[in-house]
Amino acid sequence: MKTIIAKYGTAITGLVILVVLILFARNFASSANMLNVLKNTSFLTILAVGFTFALITSELDLSFANIASLAAVVTGGMIYSGIAWPLAALAGLAVGLVAGYVNGLVVTVAKVPSLIATLGTASIAGGLAFMLTGGVAFVGRWDPVFLSLARGKVGPVPVLIFFMAAVVIAGWFVSRKTPLGVHMLATGEATEAAHRAGIATRRMKRIGLTLSGLAAGIAAVLLVASLSSAAPQMAGDYLLNAIAAVLLGMTMFEPGRPNIAGTFVGALIISVLDNGLVLLGAPYYLQDIMLGLIVIGSVSVSASVLKKAAFSV
């Protein structure tokens, strides 16, 4: 019973919240609103899956939101200046990938703790995004095929939901079913033991941070297509939301350990809460307060499972 609560307590709480909102929030349960919530969760989930990989190797990434903004501006700027959108989209993905790899190098080669390293690269990416745009947004005529990446629907279901599902399933598969996944896990759980077992632990940390950057690139391209514009700081709001989703996810399924299934459910809970609070007419600042409580509460729950501080710098 105790382990059931430890493993599924958060998810059950999420279900209870869902039921309460269905009963008391007007329009919440409509299929249009449900699909809308899922659609809006997709950016959050994709970014959070990336952050999960960094955290699995026991490294923090505070730069993914600014990297996503930079990637968005690069993609948007290229389309704006008339370059074919597939190239621009690839460039956005490449920006995320390279920025994530740079994070990995700074952490594993220059030996800067990831908290500080990614705080630095976050600032650099944010600055570059402003430099490229001159501080304004790219808006204009966009190829409808490109826009359909994020706005298209299969039947009633937005395409974004399929992108989210693909990222979650791929992330779950890699982390749980492949040697790469367990090597990353072992690196995060016991770096010295993993190293002595022949695992290239620094490489695993680089891969974790690179995947976080790549996820930022994917989210960025979809965000540009969804909003048909690109502005510096456009992904900034996702930073704490995505981190909260991952930390909340660490309280379920594999308590104390970042895991993709937990991240997905964590992102869903946060989106549902956000949406529900709006529909209930709660003031907007309540979302921020709630987010802060989720972050602190989750880490304290994880810490009690781990019987030590959940994070150290």
Partner 1 sequence: MSLTDAAAAPGLATSEALRVRGATKTYGAVEALRGADLTVRRGTVHAVCGDNGAGKSTLIKLISGVEAPDGGEISVDGRPVHFADPHAALAAGIATIHQDLGLAPRMAIYQNIFMGSELTRRILGVPVLRRRAMIARSAEFLAQLNSAITDMTVPVDTLSGGQRQAVAICRALRWKAETIIMDEPTAALGVRETAQVLALIRRLREQGVTVILISHNMADVVAVADSVTILRAGRTVLERATEGLDADSLSHLILFVGAEAA
User: Is residue 37 close enough to count as binding partner 1 by CB under 8 A?
Assistant: no
What is the distance between the alpha carbons of residues 63 and 182, in angstroms, rounded to a whole number?
25
Q: Which of 19, 22, 193, 289 binds partner 1 (CB under 8 A)?
A: 193
User: Is residue 203 close enough to count as binding partner 1 by CB under 8 A?
Assistant: no
User: Is residue 185 close enough to count as binding partner 1 by CB under 8 A?
Assistant: yes
- Sheet strands (E) in 45-139: 138-139
Q: Which is nearer to partner 1, 151 or 257 (CB)?
A: 257
What is the distance between the alpha carbons of residues 238 and 262, in angstroms, rounded to a whole number?
18
Only segment of 89-97, 109-117, 191-199, 269-277 that touches partner 1 (CB under 8 A)? 191-199
Instruction: Give the distance, in angstroms, between the CA of residue 8 and the centroid of all CA atoms in the same chain.
Output: 22
What is the distance between the alpha carbons of residues 89 and 56, in angstroms, rounded to a whole number?
28
What is the bridge-based pairing of β-strands 229-230 and 138-139?
antiparallel
User: Is residue 134 close enough to count as binding partner 1 by CB under 8 A?
Assistant: no
User: Which 233-272 positions form the footprint of partner 1 (CB under 8 A)?
Assistant: 256-257
Cβ contacts of residue 174 below 8 Å, gap of 6+?
180, 181
Q: Which of 177, 296, 300, 308 binds partner 1 (CB under 8 A)?
A: 177
Q: Which is nearer to partner 1, 35 or 174 (CB)?
A: 174
| Torsion angle defined by CA atoms of residues 242, 173, 308 and 203, in that order, rounded to the nearest 10 degrees | -90
Q: In 3-state terms, what secondary structure has residue 229?
A: strand
User: Is residue 199 close enough to count as binding partner 1 by CB under 8 A?
Assistant: yes
Q: Which of 12, 144, 145, 196 binds partner 1 (CB under 8 A)?
A: 196
Helix, strand, coil percentages, rounded to 5, for the chain: 75, 5, 20
Q: Which of 63, 79, 128, 183 binds partner 1 (CB under 8 A)?
A: 183
User: Is residue 178 close enough to count as binding partner 1 by CB under 8 A?
Assistant: yes
Cβ of residue 179: shortest distance to partner 1, in angstroms?
A: 5
User: Is residue 182 close enough to count as binding partner 1 by CB under 8 A?
Assistant: yes
Per CB under 8 A, residues contacting partner 1 are 177-179, 181-183, 185-186, 189-190, 192-199, 256-257
